[in-house]
Chain A
Amino acid sequence: METRLANIWRLTVNEKKFIETALQSDLRIDGRRPFDFRNISIKFSREEGSAEVQLGQTHVMAFVTAQLTQPYKDRPNEGTLSMFTEFSPMADPSFEPGRPSEAAVELGRVIDRGLRESRAVDTESLCVLSGKSVWAVRVDLHILDNGGNLVDAANIAALAALLTFRRPECSLGGEDGQQVIVHPPEVREPLPLIIHHLPIAVTFAFFSNESTVVVDPTHYEEAVMGGRMTATLNANNDICAIQKAGGEGVLQSVIMQCLRIAGQKAYDISTKIKNAVESYNTERALRKIKRHPSSVALDISGAGVNIGKNQNKPVPQKGDSERSNLTSEKSVADQSMDIEGEAKSSEQQQTNKIDGDAKNFVGGPSSWDPYSAGVNSDFLKASLASRGTTMPSRKEQDSRGENMSGEAKPVEPPEDINVSSSNIEASETVLRTNGEKTLKDAVKPKNKRKMKSSSTSER
């Protein structure tokens, strides 16, 4: 009991007075302005449907899982969404293990209301067999560190996790078409949840001085504040939910001002979430591609030398390896690899290095290469097109990496069609890369001419 008394975090009279005095001059103790959010960092793990969000010192994790259950009797066509919060004792000295406290229940309720009432998550698409079998989606929120403003951080984590969650595909089968078969992820690609919009929670803290409002209170400010309000809006400025539980009374004009500010913040935060989710999906797609290197059809440049080397590298590398091969000077290619490598993700950098090693094999396709016997560019295009759906995001990354040489990879004609940023014909890209690549100047003229002639001959 004594130790517990000693370990509680205490607020001094001085701090309370100081925070309020500073707020009168629009200053906050961490140097923010009254309507600034702290830095948000969203991270994902290898598992689908889990997100970790850091909002300043506050640290929250969300996990999404789904199970097939029976639907509620009054809603036979809809799946369910449920939220569980756990306030870990390591987050704050006042958190106890065991039954969720009032604050924990309130947090879960606010986030749940924001998602459910606004119908952000489409529950009708979660129905498998009407009246018998639906998907029950469960979101678990774990609070790891309490630095203030748990609601906002947990909301972002829940949204990020829901956006990256994939549920198994299932179909109806059996003799009477009533049996539900769940397909494992290896057989059929899992499906994402249908999320119509992102309701973002923005919390305001009110202090005893009238009309002193701050956004995103820290732990200290929460201990000093007189009242708090959470407004959940989406990027279209639709209000999904408002929560003001107790605390001081607030003027109506102040509330309207808060809602306006919340609209702006909601837009910013939803952009951030979308960007984070997109880059995560890109990375995940890249990882999937990398798992099947042998199925990657390669090099359309036409230079026989290039084909041999390029075969066993993932598609996004093709352009790199191709261009580096075209120079056929190891040092020059190293430079090009370095330049391109910087613009690429680390995966690609690794394979770039592999390219450098492979360069020693200049001289012809290796005997072990199954594709060495003359690659048909049409066949390549067709095979690439069939996998075109998984590649578009990768192509974006590649096109970002293009800035150095200003060219899209010759490898991805189908995606090029989508982006319409560069040529569709592989050989055209080769020629173009030939022309624009400044490093080519360093290449021995003999080789360059040889490449060019061979590529033109292949056309």
Chain B
Amino acid sequence: METKPSGSPTSLVDQFVMPGDEALDLSTMSNQTIKLGRSLRQDGDVLSVMKAGTFKFSKPNKYWVESSQKRYEPHAGDSVLGIVVDSKADNFLVDIKGPALAFLPVLAFEGGTRRNIPKFEAGTLIYVRVVKANPGMNPELSCTDASGKAAEFGQLKDGYMFESSTGLSRMLLSSPTCPVLDALGKKLSFEIAVGLNGRVWVNATSPSTVIVVANGIMNSEFKSGVQQRGMVEKLLQNLKLST
């Protein structure tokens, strides 16, 4: 029977926890197998928190702590926005805001052969997928999805890229759509690519739209849903006034 995870009246799920908090009392759940995710550690009977963040639970048995920071820790399977730094014989060196530069093999494109290697100059913005991310090694990227199709990966042309925290990126990617994107999308038409490494790319036909969208998103991280919509309203009004 799926009761509230911790079973005790003061469940910490979806609450903000600090390092040292005891998230769960494991003695009450001795017959379950649970999976521990980020920033959780088992100390005998007690599950303690290592990093400040929101304590999350997902059925059937996964617990983790979600925190937001400006640095990105590469993780296999993430879709990120990278900036090409250099191109070598075998791969491109790409900066994905992690502790080390990542390698993007030259052939990791749909239909990629030695003959049609794309030319990415330094400073090109690309949407890539992290294939391997082991600690101590440079992460490996790919511009195709798991089955080999292009699936929107590749170079992003035009538009404007800005940096944010990882928490904001996760909020933008959450479903249902987060309020700020919802409110902006109702009135403006734009294209957006969100990388889990804290980079967001926006493109629209007119620069003013891009600026409004970018500023709206940047300011929405710590606002509640209602506040976000209110802020978007104000921005849109200013935009209409100036056009």
Contacts and interface: CB of A to CB of B under 8 A. Distances in A.
A pairs with B:
yes
Interface of A: 2-3, 5-6, 10-18, 21-22, 25, 27-31
Nearest to B208: A27
B124 A12 contact: yes
A1 to B, nearest CB: 11
11 contacts: A5-B85, A5-B95, A10-B95, A12-B123, A13-B125, A14-B125, A18-B160, A22-B208, A25-B206, A27-B211, A30-B215
B201 A14 contact: yes
Given A13-B121, A13-B124, A14-B201, A27 B159 contact: no
A14 B211 contact: no
B26 interface: no
A2 B214 CA distance: 31
Interface of B: 83, 85, 95, 98-101, 121, 123-125, 138, 156-161, 201, 206-208, 210-211, 214-215
A25 B205 CA distance: 13
Contacts of B95: 5-6, 10
A15 B161 contact: yes
Given A10-B95, A14-B160, A18-B160, A3 B123 contact: no
Contact of A10 (B98, B123, B211): B123
A18 B123 contact: no
Contacts of B85: 5, 10
Contacts of A3: 99-100
Given A11-B123, A28-B211, 10 more contacts: A6-B98, A10-B83, A12-B125, A13-B121, A14-B161, A15-B161, A16-B123, A22-B211, A27-B207, A27-B208
Contact of A18 (B101, B124, B159, B215): B159
Contacts of A11: 123
Contacts of A28: 211
Nearest to A11: B123
Contacts of B159: 14, 18
A25 B215 CA distance: 17
B114 to A, nearest CB: 25
- Of the listed residues A5, A12, A16, A31, the one surrounded by the most CB atoms of chain B closer than 10 A to its CB is A12
Given A2-B101, A3-B99, A14 B208 contact: no
B125 A18 contact: no
A8 to B, nearest CB: 8
B101 A5 contact: yes
A295 to B, nearest CB: 49
Given A6-B99, A29-B160, A12 B83 contact: yes
B123 A29 contact: no
Contacts of A2: 100-101, 138
Nearest to B242: A27
Nearest to A33: B242
Contacts of B124: 12-13
A90 to B, nearest CB: 14
Shortest 5 CB-CB contacts between residues of A and residues of B: A22-B207, A18-B160, A12-B125, A13-B123, A10-B83
A14 B156 contact: yes
Nearest to A7: B99
A164 B74 CA distance: 49
A15 B211 contact: no
B70 to A, nearest CB: 12
A29 B211 contact: yes
A22 B213 CA distance: 14
B217 to A, nearest CB: 13
Contacts of A18: 158-160, 207, 210
B123 A31 contact: no
A25 B125 contact: no
Given A2-B101, A6-B99, A10-B123, A31 B215 contact: yes
